[in-house]
Amino acid sequence: MNRDELRKAVLEELSGIAPDIDLASFDDNASLQDEYDLDSMDSLNLAEAVHKRLGVNIPDQDYARLRNIADLLDYLEGRL
Partner 1 sequence: MAEQWANLVDYEQFCAGFSWSQARSELAGMGNGRLNIAYEALDRHMATAAAERTAIRFLARDSETPQDISYRALNERANRFANVLQDLGVQPGERVYGLSHRIPDLYAAVLGTLKHGCVFTPLFPAFGPEPIRQRVEIGEPAVLVTSKRLYQKKLADWLGEMPSVRHVLLIDELDEAPPGTLDAGALMAAASGDYVTRPMDPEAPALLHFTSGTTGKPKGAMHVHDAVVNHHMTGRYVLDMHPGDIYWCTADPGWVTGTSYGIIAPLTNGVTMIVDQAEFDAERWYRILQNQKVAVWYTAPTAIRMLIKLGPELPRAHDLSSLRFMASVGEPLNPEAVIWGQKVLGKPFHDNWWQSETGGIMISNYATLEVRPGSMGKPIPGVEAAVARKTGDGIELIEEADETGELVLKKGWPSMFRGYLNQDEKYRSCFVGDWYLTGDLARRDADGYFWFIGRNDDVIKSSGHLIGPFEVESVLLEHPAVAEVGVIGIPDEVAGEIVKAFVALKPGYPPDDNLRRELMGLARKRLGPAVAPRHIAFREELPRTRSGKIMRRLLRARELGLPEGDTSTLEGASE
- The residues binding partner 1 (CB under 8 A) are 15-16, 18-20, 33-34, 37-42, 44-45, 60-61, 64
Q: Which CB atom, from 2 or from 61, has the smaller least distance to partner 1? A: 61
Q: Which CB atom, from 2 or from 20, has the smaller least distance to partner 1? A: 20
Q: Which CB atom, from 3 or from 8, has the smaller least distance to partner 1? A: 8
State how far the Cα of 13 lies from the Cα of 3, in Å rounded to an integer. Answer: 15
Q: What is the dihedral of CA 22, 58, 3, 45, to 10 degrees?
A: -20
The answer to whether 69 and 7 have CB atoms below 8 angstroms apart is yes
In the complex, minimum distance from the CB of residue 39 to partner 1, in angstroms, rounded to a whole number: 4
The answer to whether 10 and 76 have CB atoms below 8 angstroms apart is yes
